[in-house]
Amino acid sequence: MRIKFKKFAPVIIIFASILVFTLMIKLKPEAEFQKPKVIPQVVETMAAYPSEVKAKISSQGTIRPEHEILVTSEVSGKVEWISPKFLDGAGFKAGDTLMKIEKRDYELSLILRESNLFQARLALEREEAEANLANIEWKRVGKGDASSLTLREPQLAQAKAVLAAAEAAYEQSKRNLKRTEIIAPFDGRVRKKMVDIGANLVPGSRIADIYNTLNYEVRLPVADKDIPFLGIPLDGKTLLESSRPRVLLTTSYGGDTFQANGYIVRSESQIDPKTRMISVIATIPMNKMNKKLKVGLFVNAEIDGLSFKNITVVPRSAVKNDMIWVVEKNYLRKKSVEVIRYEDDLAFITDGLNKNDRVLVTRLDSYVDGMTVREN
């Protein structure tokens, strides 16, 4: 019997060890499971508040004169005097004498034409007297109707024609004498002078390019997406003053940034073949506020467009694929919205939001409908 026990002792020991190990596992207390504590992410929101909004249309352009002309000579002669105001970049006032052409020949011509005019008037007076005498004489001794020759009608007509020609020649001489002086037609500035003292001119000679400084203008291209919000006809016609959109111009010059005001006066009636865009023309009055503007300056423009009511303006980043996230009782909720316009970093929403909805403006790594958040 003792021999059998010794034979099975190792098996019994192994079995007993397995039994004890199994009991230890079963009797070991289970660790209590604890759910991880969720910390809501702090987010920024804004209240949805519908209001009336005016569209702002951005563009760029270069300041140019509203009126610019090429001054040419109307008479022949040598330039004898040039005003100090008649230099490249110099300014002048309406009525200023800018240049003089030698006028002695035109003065002599005027004297001659005046003499011819005096002689023609005397000749007409004599012919009228003789015609009157002929008429009286015919009535005294003649019978029937007198012929035109008898009444000196051809001679009288010729005298009148000679006088008319003399008057025209005299007026032409006066005009030519006056044209020896180049007078400024408006307040302006010289862009480029093309002659100097001593130059011989003929009719049509180019003298200078000058421009008016009363008003400047700027050509502003409008993107296709902005045209519906511009609110003006695109037919090239000048707009009534009451319907001209305001324009705010911003530019930098001489280390200083400043602004100027203008207004849209018309559109161009054709598409630019290079940019495939249509442009509008803005006029800038040269008043005290705008006096810093210079021809050739590059400007950024902001045009007042149409006004829209009941528009909620939110950051552009808050909208994606016409969807927006709002916070309701510390939970994220997704809403579909209708966006009529994106303007810079803003989105104009017409539908989909209720007044005082809390619109999420914080960017998150992920968005889940129903996710817990906490407003800052």
- Other C-beta atoms closer than 10 Å to the C-beta of 311 total 19
With bands split at pLDDT 50, 70 and 90, how would you rate the model's confidence at 46? very high
Average pLDDT, integer, range 276-299: 91
Q: Which residues contact 290 (CB under 8 A, 6 or more apart)?
A: 216, 260, 261, 262, 284
Return all residues near 130 (Cβ < 8 A) that are at least 6 apart: 152, 155
pLDDT of residue 290: 85
pLDDT band at 9 (very low <50, low <70, confident <90, very high): low
In the chain, % of residues over pLDDT 70: 86
302-306 mean pLDDT: 95
Provide the token pair at 162: 């000679």
In this prediction, residues 72-93 reach a mean pLDDT of: 96
Over 80: is that where the pLDDT of 15 sits? no
Within a 10 A sphere around the Cβ of 127, how many other Cβ atoms? 19
325: phi then psi, degrees, rounded to nearest 5: -105, 135
Q: Is the pLDDT of residue 336 over 80?
A: yes
DSSP 203-218: TT-EEEEEEESSEEEE
Whether residue 17 is predicted with pLDDT greater than 70 in this model: the reply is no
In a 10 Å sphere around its CB, with 0-12 CB exposed, 13-18 middle and 19+ buried, how is residue 146 labelled?
A: middle
Give the integer Cα–Cα distance in Å for 132 and 145.
Answer: 15
For 7-38, b/e burial (b = at least 16 CB within 10 A) is: eeeeeeeeeeeeeeeeeeeeeeeeeeeeeeee
Confidence of residue 292 (pLDDT cuts 50, 70, 90): confident
The pLDDT of residue 311 is: 95
Mean pLDDT of 204-233: 94
Q: What are the pLDDT digits (tens) for 21-45?
A: 566 656 555 555 555 666 888 999 9
* Higher pLDDT pick, 269 / 187: 187
Q: 264 with 281: CB under 8 angstroms?
A: yes
pLDDT of residue 253: 85
Identify which has the larger pLDDT, 333 or 128: 333
Query: Once rounded to an integer, what is the mean pLDDT over residues 351-367?
Result: 92
Angle, vertex CA 362, rays to CA 356 and CA 364, nearest 5 = 130
Query: Smallest Cα–Cα separation from 208: which of 99, 336, 101, 298?
Result: 99
On the CB side of 326, CA atoms within 13 Å amount to 18
Q: At residue 147, does pLDDT exceed 60?
A: yes
Q: Measured between alpha carbons, how far is 219 from 280 in angstroms, rounded to an integer? A: 6
Work out whether strand 323-328 and strand 319-320 pair parallel, antiparallel, or are unpaired. antiparallel
Nearest-angstrom CA–CA distance, 148 and 135: 10
> 72-105 in b/e burial notation, b at 16+ Cβ within 10 A?
ebbbbbebeebbeebeeeeebeeeeebbbbbbee
Q: Give the pLDDT confidence score for residue 289 in this predicted structure.
A: 80
Give the residue-averaged pLDDT of 63-80: 96
The CA distance from 186 to 214, in Å, is: 8
- Between 141-155, 217-231, 268-282, 362-376, the lowest mean confidence (pLDDT) is in 141-155
The answer to whether 266 and 281 are in contact (CB under 8 A) is yes
DSSP 372: B
Q: Which of the two residues, 324 and 148, has the higher pLDDT score?
A: 324
Q: What is the pLDDT of residues 163-181, one digit of tens each?
A: 999 999 999 999 999 999 9
Q: For residue 128, what is the DSSP state?
A: H
Per-residue pLDDT for 1 more than 60? Answer: no
What are the beta bridge partners of residue 338?
351
